[in-house]
A and B are shown apart, each in its own frame.
Chain A
Amino acid sequence: MTKRFGDVVAVDDLSLEVKPGEFFALLGPSGCGKTTTLRMIGGFEEVTSGSVYLGDTDVTDLPPFKRATNTVFQNYALFPHLTVFENIAFGLRRRKTPTNEIRHQVAFMLKLVELPGYEDRKPNQLSGGQQQRVALARALVNNPRVLLLDEPLGALDLKLRKQMQVELKRIQSEIGITFIFVTHDQEEAMTMSDRIAVMRAGRIEQLGQPEELYERPRTDFVAGFLGVSNLIDADVAGRDERFATLRLDGGTLLRAPAAYVNGAPRVRLGVRPEKLRVIALNDDTGDSVDADTNALDGTVLDASYIGVSTQYLVETPDGHKLTVYAQNLETSGAGEVLADGQRVRLTWKPQHTFVIGPAIGPMPAGDAELEEEPQVHA
């Protein structure tokens, strides 16, 4: 589907399938079209072209109140003039649910979000986290087929956010409703989601499970948006069954899974900072490198001890700067951090090398197969 605001294309020919019961995240920087996408699914934004299906039903032209979706809005949009009870009962009342039934269901929801006894409070008497729970209950009580969440945790402080991430996940698995949520926080998306669509400029940059996006980003953008990546351009020098050999401009040979490299003579390889191991190079260190290991020599430019790990910035002779997160497994203090100017060797396993750029091979085994009918399909 596509959404245009005047000349601006907010969502550009985006296609997406979400499975029943899935916790699905739309992740991207602000202005990438993720919220617009969510609003089109919810019916708040007209679709310029394309269609939205809920199961087998085409809901493209239905207003929000005729769709089996409910939304948890950014900043919650609780009705300030109604009590918690009436807020949660709002949807049930509109659908003429009997009073007894309403009382029953609201009580059940308040228990689910762990706010029993708050029926008569007004929203402005609640903390941010409590308002968040009421917003969730108000949407869930209607038993939607899909729950849409627009930056649901954005207004909470860090500690509460972590807590609510766990809560949301628990509630979702308890009731089994499909959740589609929008966030710009990659960690939040990684913690909660079954699958993530990374969006940029109105398009899906890459879609997959969190591990897959992290371990094998397929574009520069995904490599940089989810965590930190070290990226280096290289020529493809050869390949065997398992690995392709890549030659850096300085002549160093590195290896990457052969499946990632396909045809193109020049590619961009990447490796995550925590996959790198740093070894101090002394005069008596041999040149021999284990055949199963990628190695790259350089000099420490900067070191910062941050408790759980030490971060190094290492510069290779041909000018690439690599970030390294060294776990402080053996070290016990800042005194054991390698000094600036120290010559070091970075080593990592070839299978931890990912390749992006012009040549992209087929996805490695274990790719998510759609076994069920998609629930939301846009």
Chain B
Amino acid sequence: MPRHWRWLVPYLFLIPGGLWLLAFFVVPMLVMASVSLQTGSLGTGYALTWNFGVYPEMIGAWAPQFERSLWYSIVVTALTLAVGYPMAYTIAFRGGRYKSILLLLVILPFFTAYIIRTLSWKLILADNGFVLGNLKDIGFLDDGFRIIATPIAVISGLTYNFLPFMVLPLYVALEKIDPKLVEAATDLYASRLQAFLRVTLPLSMPGVFAGSLLTFIPAVGDFINSEILGSRDTTMIGQIIQRLFLNNNAYPEAAALGFMLMAAVLALVFIYARFVGADELTR
């Protein structure tokens, strides 16, 4: 290659991935945008009629599920953060030579399929399963007590399934922090708690942010946990979209819901980034 073409080389490396994204992300997105604005039926065929009315219509029809998904995901993100932060902190600062083993344990659940893991939670939480059943037998719990089919079951399932997505970025962020900085803080009259709040926590914010996104975004669209662990009262928007697409063949409606979900997630992430401080991300 002639010398003056050298500058092209880095861009050449972008081509395979770029083509991939074009074919499997950009094109489907445009197709879906078009589908959401079409009208018709499976029998008569669809035509692009720029039917923007489907958007407010869908919001009106599925507002509770929509809202529920966002709330569940916010709670799930908060819970994974609350459970995952101490975990990542301990592995990063106290893990010593067991660090890699502990990290392996964190990602070990990924070796089983998502559905299998969630199904096993159904067994664990079942009304007469070995946990609740035994607790009921010894009279610790009322016979009518149940977890399965409640929001608690769905939120627990989601929290469990997304915990590694929170722990790993947190670990990476915490691992990078020089323990000398904490020593320096305590040398400068900060108690252990103050050193954590003033030094460790702010420096781990990129991990908090990344982990929150990796948990929140897939959790909002999740259609497995509520399906398996929930009930009609816990239906999430992902399930609705899935049903509209695959069961009702209501493609424009499903596509419109999908786009609105995306818009809602983008808006919330934007607000969150402003709140956390987006410059933390790029540092």
Contact = CB atoms under 8 A, between A and B. Distances in A.
Interface of A: 42, 44, 63-65, 69-71, 73-75, 77-81, 90-91, 94-95, 138-139, 142
B190 interface: yes
A53 B108 CA distance: 51
A94 B283 CA distance: 26
Interface string B192-208: 00100011001100000
A90 to B, nearest CB: 5
B7 interface: no
B190 A65 contact: yes
Contact of B181 (A42, A63, A79, A142): A79
A64 B202 contact: no
Contacts of B189: 65, 91, 94-95, 142
B200 to A, nearest CB: 11
Contact of B183 (A69, A77, A78, A94): A77
B186 A73 contact: no
B183 A90 contact: no
Interface residues on B, range: 10 to 19
A3 B187 CA distance: 20
Contacts of B185: 79, 90
Contacts of B19: none
Interface of B: 178, 180-181, 183-191, 194, 198-199, 202-203, 283
Nearest to A86: B198
A138 B190 CA distance: 14
Contacts of A138: 188
A81 B186 contact: no
Contacts of A139: 187-188
A80 B204 CA distance: 12
Given A75-B180, A77-B180, A94-B194, A70 B199 contact: no
Nearest to A75: B180
A81 B203 contact: yes
Nearest to B184: A77
A124 to B, nearest CB: 9
Contacts of B202: 81
Contacts of A70: 187-188
A42 B185 CA distance: 13
Contact of A64 (B183, B203, B283): B183
B187 A64 contact: yes
28 contacts: A44-B187, A63-B186, A64-B183, A64-B186, A65-B187, A65-B189, A70-B187, A70-B188, A71-B184, A71-B187, A73-B184, A74-B180, A77-B178, A77-B183, A78-B184, A79-B181, A79-B184, A79-B185, A80-B181, A80-B203, A81-B202, A81-B203, A90-B190, A90-B198, A94-B188, A94-B194, A95-B189, A139-B188
B203 A65 contact: no
Given A65-B190, A74-B180, A77-B184, 10 more contacts: A42-B187, A44-B183, A64-B187, A65-B191, A69-B187, A73-B184, A79-B184, A79-B199, A80-B181, A138-B188
Contacts of B203: 80-81
A70 B183 CA distance: 11
A95 B187 CA distance: 12
B237 to A, nearest CB: 37
B153 to A, nearest CB: 40
A90 B283 CA distance: 21
A63 B283 CA distance: 32
Nearest to B194: A94
Interface core residue of B178, B198, B203 (most chain A CB under 10 Å):
B198
Contacts of B190: 65, 90, 94
A44 B187 CA distance: 9
Given A79-B199, A81-B203, A94-B194, A73 B183 contact: yes
Contacts of A91: 188-189
Nearest to B182: A77
A64 B183 CA distance: 8
A80 B191 CA distance: 19
A186 to B, nearest CB: 25
Of all A-B residue pairs in the complex, the 7 with the closest CB atoms, nearest first, are: A91-B188, A94-B189, A77-B180, A77-B184, A64-B186, A65-B189, A64-B187
